Structure 1
Amino acid sequence: MKFRFLVALLAVLATAVLPTALPTPALAQAQAQQEGPDYAEWNKVASRAEKVLAEGKASTAAFDTLRGELVDWRTRFLDAQNINSARVKTLRDQISALGDPPAEGETEPQEIAKRRAELTKQLNEAQAPSLKAVEAYSRADGLIREIDQIIRERQADQLLQLGPSPVNPVNWAAGLTAIRGTLVEVGNELSSNWENPNARATMQSALPVTLLFLALAGLLTVRGRRWMEMLSVFLAQRGRGRGRTLFSGIASLGQIVVPTLGVVLLAGALKSSAMLGLRTERVAQILPILGFTIFTAGWLGGRVFAQLGVSRAILTLPPERRAEGRFNSWIIGLILALAMLAQEVTKVENYPAEAVAVLSFPILLLAGLMLSRMGQLLLAHSRADGAESPEERPYRNRVAAFFGRAAIGAGLIGPLLGAVGYAEAGDFFVYPSILTLALVGFLLLLQRFVTDIYAILMGRDVEDPENGGDLIPVLIGMMLVLLSMPVLALIWGARIADLTELWARFTAGYSIGGTRISPTSFLTFVVVFALGYALTRLVQGMLRSTVLPKTKIDPGGQTALISGVGYVGIFLAGVVSVTTAGIDLSSLAIVAGALSVGIGFGLQTIVQNFVSGIILLIERPVSQGDWIEVGGVMGIVKDISVRSTRIQTFDRTDVIVPNADLIAGQVTNWTRQNLTGRVILKVGVAYGSDTRKVEKILMEIGESHPLVMVNPAPLVVFQGFGADALEFELRVILRDINYGLSVRTELNHEIARRFAEEGIEIPFAQRDIWLRNPETLRERPAPQSPGPFLPRQSAEPQPEPLADLGGDADADGGDGPR
């Protein structure tokens, strides 16, 4: 019972190969459409199933057989639901073309009413086979559910069944008697075969082959694994190239294949001797499975707890703990092999419950002990990072700590339950936990293998610690974890029927809003959308590199056109893919309408920015490369998307501006229509300067710069009389406003030089301070002697604050003398 997952796993692999010989779904559907299910035969099968379920006395194996027959019928009914589907759709379109039926109390023309009745009758007749198939499908599906419920209830009852306690000395005698009886029977079989002349003659004739098989078996089993291990170490330490670690891991698989082949030869040698009886023959048959289990456990432990220099570390442990992990792995492999051998022997010999409990408990106790030790190693790995609290540890280490504590708990609970008498519950805690740890270790190795292959393809060294940070290996690892879920379900007691049931329901699809979505529909949607998306990108690339550069459209317009083609192409790809997949979204219109209200309020800003982005791409008031100023931000437009615009300021920082601000706000575009722009320089000269001379100098400076346009010519404006200077302005129009700052700087330098040569003074602001009652500055109070509560005054005179001058201070005027 506890190792039925091995048989289930082989069955899953077989189902992956056998479908090539079975009818394809399209062929089955075509046959169903032509012939249809035999409903008379189905009624017999369904009645028999209902009778068996009502009695509830059939064995689990009988229920499984009946279930398989019902699953076959259910598949036929699912295919039969599409009978006349094209005809039904045509008739519905015809009825819809006639318009809505008249309301109560109203009539319609006799010809239309007659035609509507004829089409309705034809529609009912065409729908009858599919509706009958739907009803039969529901009946078969209900029977299957009832069988699954009965089997699950039996599994739960068996798991909680209390049996004889193996620690009770009363039961020891039964166990020892059963084991002794088995050994006696094996001896009698061997003795009987030896005394048989025909068997002895057969053995003598096959003796050379038997000896050859024994020699090869001993060589491959004893030395083969060691040879493969030496080869793996040699490739890891002395190999060349980036893939030496990868090739070493592949070569290490020989540690399983070679010794297992030796065990197969050993089983062949035993069978060829003609000395085996019924019991030993059965042991010889499962001998390769036992050997494979032992060598796989040893190999897995050798890779997960690899020696330093042989393989990269998966677990962070010191060398002595790694050696302990490898040793524990070999012991666990031996324990699993013993457990499978004991299960086979008890099944063949039909031991009583007391003997089974006594024989299985020591193996369960050892398995629980080794499971706990493995859990301790995982805890040691999780604490190797030196973090003070569990929250500070990496997520991977926290997961390892969880598995470690779960392994320790299962290793303790399982033997305790087994000692009480709950043998099935004890086995359920220990053996699936061991196999789960093995599966996790195998997934870690497989993830490492994928990462190494990706590193080699990318031209990097597989031992580079940065390889694990790439996205593609991580995604592949997640996919591997998902693919391992069925194996994990089998380990923890799931049946093949449970997995096939999930797969059948997945392939049948799910009904959403009256529309059935199946994997075929989803795959069709993905393929068509991918093709449409690729075609859109191809058209965009053609426009960007071939068509648009040969036109007179500016770069901003080209970008807008390419973006618009992309949005339209993706929208059309989505519509076409949904239509091709046969997904009817009309039934979801009401739900979508209701959700649109909430989305409109919740995403109002995003929708506003989206619409503003579309307006920007169509009207193009702002284009890529423009120099704009919006909301106090000035810079060059680098990118316009449907939600926001990216502006690069002159200090090389990127500012993301929502598109709504560009549409609703005030925007200054310095370079939209042309590159010309005006620069104004304000200049002040001292009172008494010759204003005409100043005007002439400024005009000459403006006209002499190469970027200043002649038409319109520069302009000098005498603005007025300022508080400190005569104010002038030099206004010039530049050919390229992008050089405005540099032109402003050059013109200011030239103004400063020419004014200095001509002796024209550029004043700066001055202020005169008038003091009222200045005589108070000469009157100083006599110094006070320090008292017990007064601070001691400094001997040097201190300046008095302005508030203590005894008068008012005025700027630019006053009543007192200057």
Structure 2
Amino acid sequence: MTRLLRLIATILLAASTATAHAQTTPVAALSGQIAQAEKDLRSVDRALDQRVEDDERAPLRSKAVAAQQAARAAAGQLEEQLGLIDARIEGLGPVAAGTTEAPEIRRERSRLAAERGAIDAAMKRGRLVDVEAQQLVDEMERSQAEQLNERLTTRVASPLAPSFWRAVLLSVPRDLRRIDLFLSQGASQIDAQWRGGFPWQAMFGAVLALLFLFPLRVWARTLGQRYLIGSAPGHRVRRSAYAIWRVLIGTVMPLLGAICLVQGFRWAGLLPDRWSSLLDGLVLATCFSALTAALAGAVLMRHQPSWRVAPIADETADRVRPLSWLLAALTFASILIEFFNQSVGASHAANVATQVLEASLHLLLIGAFLLLLGRLRAERAGREDANSLSTSAGLGIITLVAWALVAAALIALLLGYVGLSLFVARLVIWMVILGAALYLLMGGADDMATTVFNRDSRLGLTMIRSIGLRGSVVDQFGVLLSGALRIALVLVALGLLMSPFGGGGGLGSLFGRLGAFAQGIEIAGIAISPGAILRSIVVLAIGLALVRAFMSWLESRYLPATDLDGSGRNSVSLVARYVGIALAIIWSLASLGIGMERIALLLSALSVGIGFGLQAITSNFVSGLILLAERPIKIGDWIRVGLDEGDVKRISVRSTEITLADHSTLIVPNSELITKSVLNKTLSSPLGRIQIQFSVLLGSDVERVREIVLDAFAAEPAILDDPAPVAFVDAILDGRILFNCFAHVSSPRDAYGARSNIFLVLLKQFRDEAIDIGTVPQRLQLAPGEPTPFVPTPADEPAPTAPTTPK
């Protein structure tokens, strides 16, 4: 780990040195960059004076953000140059009173002042452009949220009401005439171009489209599979790479075919300009439906179950696959019909009727999928024991939420909120598609990073041998790289979540919409509103979920790849968990508008109460931090606290759990382990010691007794050879020889059983060889002479006893 940190520090130092030696951009160039940013912002501002559609807003927002970044970068460089100018002016020093400076110094001072004024003016212009750009971006996001809210809250006549169908029937004649005009214009264009010559461009485009759609797609998929089988390292990498390759080929090949077909028609001039939007819709519909079908095929792998990445049963894959084809067909038809209505200029009633039909089909498909999942789960429960089912609670919650969304969308559709119903249906399907893509990409990133950066891989062996890194460092880098890639993929997915529905602002835009639902009230400079509270709760939930995901990754992936023992992993895990929870709480409070200064003021006010009322808890908390830092007691140690001893199973910031010999758990406050004496039998060494003491008669064969003891030690499997067992003659007392014997076992936990086994062997061996063992006999002997007379009192007079005969 230290070498990895040194390597990273060397790279950062080299990068910072290269930056320091880079040439400074001239002020004129930076001023020109700011002027260009101002020009771009003015063009965006003029464009916003009119109504901006969804497809026009994204380029404008990108242009404003680019201008903001350019102005911000220029202002930052100007600020650095301004600091250098101030340092030079300060080096000249102030003009002393009554003295006259040299002409060279006056000219230098005047030049530096003029240069400083120019830099300061340009820097202020850059900051102003930054503020204006942010205001334009916020305005576009508010306008985008308002348009989305308008679409979602617009109510029309319910599809169950006769007025809805009456309006559709009244618009049918005019819509049919528009369709007829649209088709006739296309037919006339085709007829005119066909008479002028053979449209070989269209035919060539059609042939290319067929080639991309069928033979080239199959050939590319087969080629990728053969390459992965023969060259890719690791089964997991091959599976993930093949799944991603299938998605890529299944999406790109139909897309290229559609582009070739459309471009062939355009080059041949077969279709009028009015059909251009419809042709673009054909390309988009082909791309999206191909992506849907390819993702479903890569996840299910119905014909290649051994290459399946997701833990899906074969029966589930077979029964879900037809629904994926229906979903792909439905997405293709929905997009194409929407572009067709726009190209034809269909009436409002026709558009609403089309949306009702699309929403109904989407909800029907989602409901069929959920019913199929429920039926598969019920069939599995019928075949297997209910206790053996491994269905996660998360999947049940997701299914319940999906049913709730379907029910809400259906109710909204029946009430006339067609836009809201269609939005929910499309959002559910887009979340499924995005989730499938994220699952495959995250699995592929994890497999690739942990396989390439592994101590046993070629790259890992090269790094170990050439750089001198430890194998655990290479494994840690692979796990860290996997985590970073997966976090980046999650952030990209969150940014793409609302993109198809006019929400390109990402997660920040989503939270911004949550805050626009209610204004609320302001207390002490803090806005308290239902939207703010909901946003804070959502942020806290997301923060805790991120902490839980990070802790799962840390405990299951990263820490096992380190050289830390169990206690060290527990210490790192506890500190990371509490720090993560604290950051999640601070993030949640910050979303309410409570800054760090207010949080610090609140903590300082609570510190008095904590000091007086929570002394014991604070003492245990600080003691727990000391235990985690100094580690006098670690998880797995065998310790004795008072009269109890056992294994340390868990160390938290408040208490320590010790498992006793009777399988009960002793919970000891951490302050007891810091302020009182604790016997740690495994702190310096994990070995345990056995001590056996006994005595034999003075005339016994001492060498034979010692040999029997050492043989008993050698026959016991738990006794270690190093340190070797020993048997000492401890003393000769009262006609007996006292032996004191020692041996070692691998753990103090094994000492009791091994000691009992050795006693059983020794007792049997000594009995077979007639060796007398035991304690020194006690004799009672009265010395000759007259004893001291004793005259008892009546109260102390004992009861009469039998006379004692001396031995």
Which of 251, 273, 279 is equivalent to 1:278?
A: 273
Please give the alpha-carbon distance, in whole angstroms, between the structure 1 residues aligned to 2:731 and 2:486: 72
> 1:366-765 to 2 correspondence within 5 Å?
366-381=361-376, 383=378, 386=381, 393-406=391-404, 408-409=406-407, 412-413=410-411, 415-417=413-415, 420=416, 422-447=417-442, 449=444, 480-491=489-500, 493-497=501-505, 594=604, 601=615, 602-608=617-623, 631-632=642-643, 664-666=675-677, 762=777
Residue number in structure 2 paired with 1:336: 331
Please give the alpha-carbon distance, in whole angstroms, between the structure 2 residues aligned to 1:424 and 1:87: 54
Q: Does 1:351 align with 2:356?
A: no
Residue number in structure 2 paired with 1:160: 153
**Distance change >3 Å, CA 283–CA 350, structure 1 → 2:** closer
Structure 2's unaligned 5+ residue stretches are 1-18, 91-96, 99-108, 458-477, 513-561, 572-595, 710-724, 781-797
Aligned-pair distance for 1:401? 1.5
Conserved in 2, the CA contact under 8 Å of 1:381 and 1:400? no
Q: What CA deviation, in whole Å up to 9, does each residue of 1:689-742 have, x standing for no partner? A: xxxxx89999999999996889xxx65677xxxxxxx9x996989999999998
Conserved in 1, the CA contact under 8 Å of 2:647 and 2:658? yes
| 3-state SS, counterpart of residue 167 of structure 2 | helix
Residue number in structure 1 paired with 2:168: 172
Structure 1's unaligned 5+ residue stretches are 1-23, 96-109, 112-117, 461-469, 505-539, 545-559, 564-585, 686-693, 719-725, 766-812
| 3-state SS, counterpart of residue 271 of structure 1 | helix
Q: What CA deviation, in whole Å up to 9, does each residue of 1:377-403 have, x standing for no partner? A: 3444555663979x9952242144235
Conserved in 1, the CA contact under 8 Å of 2:57 and 2:140? yes
Amino acid at match of 1:249: A
Residue number in structure 1 paired with 2:138: 145
| 3-state SS, counterpart of residue 334 of structure 1 | helix
Conserved in 1, the CA contact under 8 Å of 2:254 and 2:290? yes
Residue number in structure 2 paired with 1:537: none
| 3-state SS, counterpart of residue 497 of structure 2 | helix
**Distance change >3 Å, CA 411–CA 246, structure 1 → 2:** same
| 3-state SS, counterpart of residue 197 of structure 2 | helix
Aligned-pair distance for 1:485? 0.9
Please give the alpha-carbon distance, in whole angstroms, between the structure 2 residues aligned to 1:262 and 1:375: 34
| 3-state SS, counterpart of residue 484 of structure 1 | helix
Q: What CA deviation, in whole Å up to 9, does each residue of 1:741-790 have, x standing for no partner? A: 989979x989999997799984799xxxxxxxxxxxxxxxxxxxxxxxxx
Which of 156, 160, 177 is equivalent to 1:181?
A: 177
Aligned-pair distance for 1:315? 7.4
Please give the alpha-carbon distance, in whole angstroms, between the structure 2 residues aligned to 1:46 and 1:475: 35
Q: Does 1:290 align with 2:257?
A: no
Conserved in 2, the CA contact under 8 Å of 1:88 and 1:127? no
Aligned-pair distance for 1:347? 2.3
Please give the alpha-carbon distance, in whole angstroms, between the structure 1 residues aligned to 2:24 and 2:508: 19
Q: What CA deviation, in whole Å up to 9, does each residue of 1:133-175 have, x standing for no partner? A: 6677556545543453344223312322234667634323454
The alignment's TM-score, normalised by the length of structure 2, stands at: 0.53
Which of 265, 281, 302 is equivalent to 1:307?
A: 302
Q: What CA deviation, in whole Å up to 9, does each residue of 1:625-651 have, x standing for no partner? A: x999774478999xx999999999999
Amino acid at match of 2:504: I
Conserved in 1, the CA contact under 8 Å of 2:646 and 2:661? yes
Amino acid at match of 2:147: R
> Higher Cα Rg: structure 1 or 2?
1
Q: CA RMSD in A?
A: 7.3
Aligned-pair distance for 1:479? 5.7
Conserved in 1, the CA contact under 8 Å of 2:698 and 2:737? no
Amino acid at match of 1:192: S
Conserved in 1, the CA contact under 8 Å of 2:496 and 2:506? no
| 3-state SS, counterpart of residue 498 of structure 2 | helix
Please give the alpha-carbon distance, in whole angstroms, between the structure 2 residues aligned to 1:616 and 1:369: 60
Q: What CA deviation, in whole Å up to 9, does each residue of 1:562-584 have, x standing for no partner? A: x9xxxxxxxxxxxxxxxxxxxxx
Conserved in 1, the CA contact under 8 Å of 2:620 and 2:669? no
Conserved in 1, the CA contact under 8 Å of 2:657 and 2:666? yes
Please give the alpha-carbon distance, in whole angstroms, between the structure 2 residues aligned to 1:140 and 1:731: 92
Aligned-pair distance for 1:488? 1.1
Amino acid at match of 1:184: D
| 3-state SS, counterpart of residue 428 of structure 2 | helix
Please give the alpha-carbon distance, in whole angstroms, between the structure 1 residues aligned to 2:242 and 2:165: 52
Conserved in 2, the CA contact under 8 Å of 1:678 and 1:731? no
Conserved in 2, the CA contact under 8 Å of 1:220 and 1:259? yes
**Distance change >3 Å, CA 385–CA 481, structure 1 → 2:** farther
Q: What CA deviation, in whole Å up to 9, does each residue of 1:784-811 have, x standing for no partner? A: xxxxxxxxxxxxxxxxxxxxxxxxxxxx
| 3-state SS, counterpart of residue 496 of structure 1 | coil
Conserved in 2, the CA contact under 8 Å of 1:681 and 1:730? yes
Q: Does 1:249 align with 2:243?
A: yes
